Amino acid sequence: MTASTEHTSPEDLEQIRRDALAQLQSVSDEASAEEFRIKYLGAKGIVKKIFKGMKSIAPEERKAFGARANTLRTVIEEAFKEAPWMQKSTGTAPHSFDPTLPGFPFPRGSLHPLMQIRNEIRDIFISMGFDVAHGPEVESDWYNFEALNFAPHHPARDMQDTFTISDNVVLRTHTSPVQIRVMEKQQPPVRCIMPGRVYRNEEVSARSYCLFHQVEGLYVDENVSFADLKGTLLAFARRFFDEKTHIKIRPSYFPFTEPSVEVDVECFLCKGAGCSVCKKSGWLEILGAGMVHPNVFASAGVDPEKYTGFAFGMGIERIAMLKCGIDDIRLFFENDVRFLNQF
C-alpha cells in the first residue's frame, strides 16, 4: 500500500512500516541504502507525502493520525540507522571493538609552575609551624600604605607605581596588608605566611610584569629576635634549594620593618663560583625582610613594648625563574602549552 499516500489509512501506515523494514533487509551497499533513504525519508519520499496528505483527513481524526505518522517516521529512521549494513559501514557494529587492545592514556593536566613553587614554599613553612592567611586583592589605602608606616608622600603611593581604583582604594602592591588584618584579628603569638597576587604599574618586560605573586611571612611573639629571623630564612633556603646553601644578609630599607635587610642565597647553579645566572657574583637576591616596625604594631593594635616580631616577603616568579632557569617572566602568563608541558 505504498503507491498512493494522499488518502492513507491507519492500515496503510502499518503496511508501509512492514514494507520498509522488509526492504531494509536487502540493503547491502551504499547505493541501495541511499535508494531506501530517498524512497522513504527523502524530501519527496513516502513519509513526507503522508504528512502532506493529512490536510485531507477530517479534523477530528487528524491528531490521532498525526501521532501514528510520527511513530512510523521514528521507526523507519531508527531502523535505517541500525540496519546491519549501516552498522558495518560506520564501524559501530557490536563486534567491531576489540576489548583486548591496549587502552589509550588520557592526557592529564598539571598545576601551573608558579603554583607548584608556591605550594612548595607553603609546605615548607607549614612544616615549620606557620599557618596560612589570605587577604583581599582590592585594598584600602590604610591597609596597603598607612598602616604599614608609609609616609603620606611616599613614592610608592604615586599613580605611576600603583593601580588606583578611587581616592582611597587600590590594587594591593604587596601582600604586607594581610599582616595588619591578621594582627587585628589575632593577638600574639602569630606565626603565618600570606601568599597571593599583587599588582604594580610597571612596564612589562622580560624581568618585570604588572601582575606577580608573593609570599609574605610574619612571626610575632615575646622576645622574637633578629637571630630567629636569620635562622628561619636559613632553614627555608636549605629546604628549598640545597642542604649546603648559604645565605647573605645585606642592610636595606622598608617602611614597615626596622632594621630592614635583603637576603641573598648562594647561587644553587654554580655553588658560589659565579655564572651568568648570578651575574658572576655567586649570589642571588630572593627576598626582603626585617623586624616589624613599632608603628606597624601600633596600627594593628599590638603592644610594641611587649611584643617583637619579624616579617619577610619573596616574589614567587623570581624564585621560579631562578630555580627553573627561565629568562622571561612573561612566559608565566602567556599560557603557551609548549611551555607549561615542561612542568
Domain co-membership, 133 together with 67: no
Q: Is residue 272 part of a domain?
A: yes
Structural domain includes residue 243: yes
Q: Are residues 47 and 176 in the same domain?
A: no
Q: Structural domain of residue 33, as residue ranges?
A: 10-90
Residues 86 and 144 placed together within one structural domain of the fold: no
- Is residue 110 included in any domain, yes or no? no
pLDDT averaged per 10 residues in sequence order, the chain, 343 residues: 51 83 81 84 84 81 83 85 63 57 76 91 94 94 90 65 86 93 92 94 83 93 94 90 82 92 81 74 87 94 94 90 81 86 83
Q: Indicate the angle between helix axes 316-324 and 113-127, nearest 10 degrees.
A: 110
Answer whether residue 100 is part of any domain: no
**What's the CA gap between 12 and 57, in Å, rounded?**
14
pLDDT tens digits, residue range 230-247? 999 989 988 888 787 788
My answer on whether 17 and 157 are in the same domain is: no
| 67 CB-side CA count, 13 A | 4
Whether 174 and 311 map to the same domain: the answer is yes
Q: What is the pLDDT of residues 288-304, one digit of tens each?
A: 999 999 999 999 999 99
38 in the same domain as 130 = no
Same domain, 288 and 196: yes
Q: Which of 90, 107, 126 is the last residue of a domain?
A: 90
Assess if residue 30 is contained within a domain.
yes
Q: What is the pTM of this model?
A: 0.64
For the chain, what is the domain count? 2
Residues 197, 295, single domain; the answer is yes
Distances, alpha carbon 94 to alpha carbons 22, 84, 87, 101, 295, in Å: 22, 10, 8, 16, 78
Are 24 and 129 contained in the same domain? no
Q: How far is the C-alpha of 289 from the C-alpha of 258, rounded, in Å?
A: 9
CATH number at residue 316: 3.30.930.10
Q: Do residues 180 and 236 both lie within one domain?
A: yes
Listed residue (264, 269, 278, 266) closest to 323, CA to CA: 269
Rounded Cα distance, 152 and 162, in Å = 14
65 and 138 part of one domain? no
Pair 138, 287 in one domain? yes
Residue 107 located in a structural domain: no
| pLDDT number for residue 281 | 82
